[in-house]
Structure 1
Amino acid sequence: MKQQTEQYDVVVCGGGLAGVCAAIAAARGGAATCLVQDRPVLGGNSSSEVRVTPHGAAAFHAYARETGILSELLIEERAQNHEEIFENGWTNSVWDMVQYDLVQRTPNLTLHLNTTVLGVEMDGRTLKAVRCRIGNAEVDLTLEAKVFIDCTGDGMVAAEAGCEWRMGSEGKVEFNEPHAPTVANGDIMGNSIHFRARDMGRPVPFKRPDWAMHYDDARFFYDQGRLPKEIRGGYWWIEIGVPYDTIHQAEEIRHELTRHTLGVWDWIKNRDPKTMNLAENWALDWIGQVPGKRESRRIMGLYLMNEWDAIRATVHEDEIAFGGWFIDIHTPGGLLAPTSEPASAEGYSETSDYAARSYAGPYGIPLRSLVSKDVDNLMMAGRNVSATHCALATVRVMATTALMGQAAGVTAALAAQQNTSPAHIASTQYQHVQQTLLREGCFLPNIKNEDTGDLAQRATVSASSEARFAGVGPESHGAHEGLAFWRDQAVPLREELLQRRGQWIALGGERLQTLRFCLSNTSEIPQRVSVKLMEVQHIWDYRVDDAMELCTGEIILFPGPKQWIEWHVPADTALQQDSYIRVDLLPNPHVQWHVANAVEPGHVSAFEMSPGKMRRYSSGVTLSMQVEPPQRSYSPANVLSGVTRPHATTNLWRSDPAQPLPQWLELDWTTPQNVSEMILTFPGHLLREYHAYAPMYRDPQCVRDYDVQIHDGENWRTVSEVRGNYQRRNVVAFAEPLRTDRMRVVVLATHGDPSAAIYEIRLY
């Protein structure tokens, strides 16, 4: 074996999404960084080897899609990839190459693929080096660094370094978590492999190998939550864990999963009366042989996140990421257990006791959970972070782990530059990490832009025009081409008021006086519907509490379809401008509140899933209603709110859609400023999860073509021209500093929306 030693500021072990984002973030932060991956491709469970599509908070919450480095990657993948997104098994190599391309284009970043970590070298509480082997090159590689980030999933580096770790489920006595068992045990979630089938256009046979599983009981599938819903694949429930060890018996699990996969396909193809005819022309195209893991070691950090943190959305002062997947604890054993994962076993009910207990977020994740308590220069990101078994059930999904990876990379680079520990950064400079993450395009639910170096924050803002929210209805038209929804998590559009239903309205300008609702009365007699106007903190304020009531009333609806019914807001109602309110209609099964045929930016809806708790209605829709007078929901000043998505208000400037492009947004200062860089955040890619977006997708709301102009005292002069953009975040660097007291962004074209729109402008 050839011996080779390399030195870096930061070494990231593990090339899944957490590791990729950690390495890119550290390198962008100025640290000499090395990324080590034991597979030939990047992406971990999301790669073309495993093919689990990335999930995150937007599966359950409108406008909760993850941004930052992950967003860059996913937007690029959709723009390039001809393949539609499908639940599992459908990922192709375009995704691998999008990640590979960004890594290769990132300065300060060295990549070692096919490189396995074998061990570590320690000096007391300091990790000095990791020992690796490049498998196909006969090279033993020693990587030395100031800071290490363990993104191996199994926490192999941390375990070798002597860190305390947990595996299994904590008992009820420790944190009294709702999903915890009475007594602690070794139960963990299992591994899965996926398959893909292809329609051949003609009948094709399949013969099960003798060594594969034989299924002949329909109850195993249809009564236990293992529905063969799609012939083409997507079966996350082909899962095995307990009684196997997901680390040391991974190969045994892989073989068992292969046996079961072939048996499942044999059932679908040859035995299931419901699928045999449907599957007649389908043939197996691909079967994964790299199992995707859900859970193994969890490394103990400075803070152990628990289930209550997610359910109660605990505010951590060192918040550096967010999550919003549900408390998704798979049944130990998977295929070997009596039933599948609980939500699937009960048919994905939106209103069951289990659904209500499991619905979580969006919630913040603390930096301390990414910092080892036992090794001074070691961090973690991914499914091995410091969390209980129940908390891991929500933070483990890949879009969330990618956010943690970016935060770990930013922290590690800062620690390396200052020759200090990540723990020191976490305790004394977490604000610096937070502001860096926001500048790099991330979102934090409880933190906004307070960057003192941002020149835009000192400016006044004006625009060529401004949209106002007057309402939308069944006949409205929106620019939503290519946007669908992820079927498995979209609440069905039952327009009947079977539960309390609420619609958020962003207030601004003239006081709200009148609301109109588009309703149908399906009975033969007049119906009464109670109206409640609720004070909310943000668009994910799902509480139902009498203390939130601003005013109440009632409307009467005579029999008939699609009527616009007017309700006047009492004149003494205390309404706070530049914030959201929620208008709720109480249940009446004879009344339908119709969904609008357009999604109004920033205007979401929800329904009461259990007493006192709402959840997103369908896949992120706007209900049919009108407001009078029209509200200034999209003021130019929103670009300086410090938040780059709807939250406490829309945080969006949007031009009047009735006025043609180009439209402009202008910043003015009382004295000239020296500007070297502009950072723009455009709308799009937020409303729904990655699964909702079509192949070769460009979000219609996103600005495509624009000019940056400065005023030279007499005329406007163009200093930058951008054409063909489809990314949400743009950085415009000027060749030399510009001195000006007036600056404009002139939007020439979008990808289809009639309005120009911007969430944020930063200037440095």
Structure 2
Amino acid sequence: MSFEAVAYQKALQVEAQYDVVVIGSGPAGICAAVSAARMGAETAIIERYGTLGGNLTNGAVAPILGSVSRGTLRDELIVRLGVPDSDETGVTQQTHDFEKAKRVLMDFAHEAGVKIYLQTPVVDTITEGKSLTGIVISQKTGMKVIRAKAFIDASGDGDAAYFAGAEFEMGREGDSLLQPVTLMFRLQGVEEDALTCIGELDHVTYKGERFLDYTTRLCREGHLPPNAASVRSFRTAVPGERVINTTQSNGISALSSDDLEKAEIDLRTQIDEVTDFLRKYVDGYQNCIVKSTANTLGVRETRRFIGQYMLEDSDLRTGRRFEDVVVHKASFIVDIHNPAGSAQAEGVPEEVIPYDIPLGSLIPKSLDGLVLAGRCISGTHRAHASYRVMSICMAIGEAAGITAALAAQKETVPREVDFHEVQKVLIERGVELFD
């Protein structure tokens, strides 16, 4: 297929200069921005939607899964959100209030002195040699440039890192397939004693049968969408509500506009089908109705960038410790939603030994001026399936914020920041960093 090429040249106004600029305000990005600002760095956060939070708000993802060591910003944030300190796989449930989170996260950032840009996608980058020196943003008044001494890419897809030419991988080994996308939704009108099921590790029974075996059987009989055999549900703080994590669209790249359109149509149809299934086949859901749906797709996997160190499957399996640790005791199952079918790609998910995430996994191998945060850090497909969850991403973001702020203070690039100094700040904040 051939495409017409258009030469385009335009002088862009430099909108502002900061010490640290964070792209994306999801769990990693919001913690990165607050972390950097609390270091005294003049910090801005660039968000493509109209509210902060990413999957904490627009994606309607809950509960806040995964666990890390004590003392990170994750602990502060769950208190602000008003949810209990959940176990890593969500057994204790209690999803946060997505509407409340929109205000709480704005306050969280403003109190730290973070400048917030909303409705502002990043559309390109400015590089000098192998160093990122600016980002191009799109606003109603046109495209502009924002410069910073150090950038943090917490966009999930690693947009800034990609535009700047950083090396990356996508998908699993062998076929490059990505984990499926999902649209979360919330039901009301559910009876309070109605069953909940958190996922494949949950052995809750229903009418003498393991609930997920029951839903899988009925899925094969055609009562659920083909890839939606695992019906996962969580309680909210409101009686009669459930958050549902079931819809699944396979073969989707969240980097493709055509695929995004296809997934939206597919998943919004699935929401109706799953709700109808619950009304017909699960006691206590007979009168449920859809109260709200996510504003954007829940994307589990796109680009994973090549860093100074790539977190390996074996690091999770052995609970590896690193000299340059910046996240301690990260823990969540190897949660690979099947890229080529329903439920889990590997049957029962592998459990991990709480592991460390090193600073080297946050530093791109071939690009200066940038720190990675969230699910786009350097790791294998299987390792990523564990560290991609929100509690771990929050802790990664906090460490990224400190690293970027130190780089700005020292007028150097993030890869030159001494990891001992990052660790010193984390420990001074009360973060448990070593056994």
Q: Classify the secondary structure of the residue corresponding to 2:17.
A: strand
1:88–1:236 Cα contact (<8 Å) kept:
no
- Say whether residues 1:324 and 2:331 are aligned partners: yes
2:58–2:295 Cα contact (<8 Å) kept:
no
From 366, 369, 375, the counterpart of 2:367: 375
1:22–1:407 Cα contact (<8 Å) kept:
yes
TM superposition shift of 1:93:
1.3
2:46–2:120 Cα contact (<8 Å) kept:
yes
2:71–2:429 Cα contact (<8 Å) kept:
no
Pairs within 5 Å for 1:72-471: 72-78=76-82, 91-107=97-113, 109-134=114-139, 137-170=140-173, 184-199=174-189, 217=221, 225-227=229-231, 232-241=241-250, 243-248=251-256, 249-269=259-279, 271-272=280-281, 274-275=282-283, 278-322=284-328, 323-333=330-340, 337=341, 339-341=342-344, 354=348, 358-425=350-417, 429-446=418-435
TM superposition shift of 1:232:
4.3
1:54–1:398 Cα contact (<8 Å) kept:
yes
Write the distance in 1 (CA, Å) between the matches of 2:150 and 2:338.
37
Pairs within 5 Å for 1:553-564: none
Write the distance in 1 (CA, Å) between the matches of 2:233 and 2:146.
47
Which residue of structure 1 aligns with residue 87 of structure 2? Answer: none
TM superposition shift of 1:88:
9.1
From 12, 22, 41, the counterpart of 1:31: 41
Write the distance in 2 (CA, Å) between the matches of 1:420 and 1:148.
12
Give the AA of the match of 1:123.
E
TM superposition shift of 1:341:
1.8
1:4–1:140 Cα contact (<8 Å) kept:
no
Give the AA of the match of 1:436.
V
From 22, 25, 31, the counterpart of 1:21: 31
Which residue of structure 2 aligns with residue 537 of structure 1? Answer: none
| 1:376-395 C-alpha deviation (Å, 9 max, x unpaired) | 11110000000010110111
TM superposition shift of 1:127:
1.0
Per the alignment, do residues 216 and 165 of structure 1 end up closer, same or farther by CA in structure 2, a change over 3 Å counting?
closer
Write the distance in 1 (CA, Å) between the matches of 2:44 and 2:311.
28
Give the AA of the match of 2:141.
E
Q: Classify the secondary structure of the residue corresponding to 2:116.
A: strand
1:190–1:294 Cα contact (<8 Å) kept:
yes
Looking at both structures, which has the greater relative contact order when contacts are Cα pairs under 8 Å and sequence separation is at least 6?
A: 2
TM superposition shift of 1:3:
4.7
TM superposition shift of 1:441:
2.8
Write the distance in 2 (CA, Å) between the matches of 1:131 and 1:342.
38
2:368–2:415 Cα contact (<8 Å) kept:
yes
2:179–2:300 Cα contact (<8 Å) kept:
yes
Pairs within 5 Å for 1:711-730: none
Pairs within 5 Å for 1:574-589: none
Per the alignment, do residues 376 and 94 of structure 1 end up closer, same or farther by CA in structure 2, a change over 3 Å counting?
same
1:39–1:113 Cα contact (<8 Å) kept:
yes
Gaps of 5+ in 1: 58-63, 171-183, 202-214, 346-353, 447-764
1:56–1:66 Cα contact (<8 Å) kept:
no
Which residue of structure 2 aligns with residue 177 of structure 1? Answer: none
Larger Rg, first or second structure (1 or 2): 1
| 1:303-336 C-alpha deviation (Å, 9 max, x unpaired) | 1111111111112100000311011111114xxx
1:254–1:289 Cα contact (<8 Å) kept:
no
1:45–1:293 Cα contact (<8 Å) kept:
no
1:246–1:253 Cα contact (<8 Å) kept:
no
Gaps of 5+ in 2: 1-9, 85-90, 192-218, 235-239
Which residue of structure 1 aligns with residue 53 of structure 2? Answer: 43
TM superposition shift of 1:25:
1.0
Q: What is the identity percentage for the equivalent residue pairs of Structure 1 and Structure 2?
A: 28
Per the alignment, do residues 123 and 392 of structure 1 end up closer, same or farther by CA in structure 2, a change over 3 Å counting?
same
Q: Classify the secondary structure of the residue corresponding to 2:151.
A: strand
| 1:381-438 C-alpha deviation (Å, 9 max, x unpaired) | 000000010110111111101111110110111111111111111xxx2111111011
Write the distance in 2 (CA, Å) between the matches of 1:408 and 1:229.
33
Give the AA of the match of 2:144.
L
Give the AA of the match of 1:77.
L
2:56–2:98 Cα contact (<8 Å) kept:
no
Per residue, is there more helix in 1 or in 2? 2
Write the distance in 1 (CA, Å) between the matches of 2:403 and 2:155.
18
Q: Classify the secondary structure of the residue corresponding to 1:341.
A: coil
* TM-score normalised by L of structure 2: 0.81
2:227–2:249 Cα contact (<8 Å) kept:
no
Q: Classify the secondary structure of the residue corresponding to 1:239.
A: coil
TM superposition shift of 1:113:
1.2
Per the alignment, do residues 218 and 226 of structure 1 end up closer, same or farther by CA in structure 2, a change over 3 Å counting?
farther
Which residue of structure 2 aligns with residue 727 of structure 1? Answer: none
Per the alignment, do residues 236 and 66 of structure 1 end up closer, same or farther by CA in structure 2, a change over 3 Å counting?
farther
Which residue of structure 2 aligns with residue 601 of structure 1? Answer: none
Q: Classify the secondary structure of the residue corresponding to 1:247.
A: coil
Write the distance in 1 (CA, Å) between the matches of 2:94 and 2:61.
6
Pairs within 5 Å for 1:654-669: none
Per residue, is there more strand in 1 or in 2? 1
Per the alignment, do residues 155 and 223 of structure 1 end up closer, same or farther by CA in structure 2, a change over 3 Å counting?
closer
Write the distance in 2 (CA, Å) between the matches of 1:371 and 1:400.
17
TM superposition shift of 1:49:
4.6
Per the alignment, do residues 23 and 225 of structure 1 end up closer, same or farther by CA in structure 2, a change over 3 Å counting?
same
TM superposition shift of 1:216:
9.0
Give the AA of the match of 1:246.
A
Give the AA of the match of 2:416.
H
Write the distance in 1 (CA, Å) between the matches of 2:103 and 2:110.
10
1:148–1:378 Cα contact (<8 Å) kept:
yes
1:68–1:442 Cα contact (<8 Å) kept:
yes
Give the AA of the match of 1:7.
Q
* TM-score normalised by L of structure 1: 0.47
1:128–1:146 Cα contact (<8 Å) kept:
yes
Q: Classify the secondary structure of the residue corresponding to 2:375.
A: coil
1:48–1:95 Cα contact (<8 Å) kept:
no
Per the alignment, do residues 340 and 143 of structure 1 end up closer, same or farther by CA in structure 2, a change over 3 Å counting?
same
